[in-house]
Amino acid sequence: MERQIRYQREADLEWAQQFPKHPGCERLLSCIQCGTCSGTCPLSIYMDLTPRQVIALVREGFREDVLRSKTIWLCASCYACSVECPQKVGITDLMYRLKREAIRNNLYPARFPIPVLAREFCELVRRKGRNSEFWVVVRMALRSNPLVLLQLVRVGWDLWRTGRLSVRMERIRRVKELQYLPTASKEVD
């Protein structure tokens, strides 16, 4: 049997302390653990940790538990929690901050399609300046679960026959203006 709770000595308090400095997370320590975020979240019933638990774990410094959770990726950034939070904690911004750290450190569940989509999307936009819906989906599927493509055949056909599916690779004219965007680094922004 494995113990189901964490001990304080496994926590990384230094890691926890950087959060209140981050844009949107300033009021993290004001969280009263009321659970309004979890109650408002349309996806919390599918999450391994509820948003309220994520806040508690972040504050106590349980870094890996949070970064390896599916919760941060299931957050669709609908901002319902941020609007409803009585303590005005920017929960969506906290989730974004955690996603970035998980991506930088490759700490997400293997072949989990959401972070794979994020990576493919950003790579394409960074190079071309625009997103091409069709190609992002294809690349995501190839790198996570190609079977997804089978599910999408029907929808693809429906979009095609109504003139809503473009397979063109979109790009902006002045792509050179994108070369000044910061390059990927280990540092989490």
Partner 1 sequence: MEPPSKYLYYPGCSLKGTGIAYEESLLTTLRLLELPVEELSDWNCCGATTYMSVSERSATLLAARNLALARQTGSKHLLAPCNACYLTLRKSQKLVSEYPQVAQQVEQYLQQAGLPSLDSVQVRHPLEVLYNDVGLQRLRELTVRRLQGVRMASYYGCQAVRPYGEVDDPRDPKRMDEILKAVGVDVVDYNLKTKCCGGPLTGTIHDLGVRLNYILLKEAVRQGAQAIVTICPLCQFNLDAYQTEIRKHTGEPFDMPILYLTQVVGWALGGDFHELGLHRAISGKKLIERWFTVKKEAETYV
> According to CB under 8 A, which one of 20, 23, 86, 146 is a site residue for partner 1?
23
| H or E, element range at 84 | helix 80-84
User: In the complex with partner 1, which residue's Cβ is closer, 11 or 152?
Assistant: 152
From 9-17, 30-38, 60-68, 128-136, give the range in contact with partner 1 by CB under 8 A: 128-136
Cα separation, 45 vs 162, whole angstroms: 35
Structure-token match 């303590």, residue found: 87
The C-alpha torsion from 65 through 51 and 33 to 60, rounded to 10°, is 20
Minimum CB–partner distance for residue 109 and partner 1 (Å): 11
CA 69 to chain centre: 11
The residue type at 151: Q
In the complex, the residues that contact partner 1 under the rule CB under 8 A are 23, 42-43, 46, 74, 76-80, 82-83, 96-97, 99-100, 103, 113-115, 117-119, 121-122, 125-126, 129-134, 137, 140, 144, 148, 151-152, 154-155, 158-159, 162-166, 170, 172-174, 177-178, 180-182, 184, 189
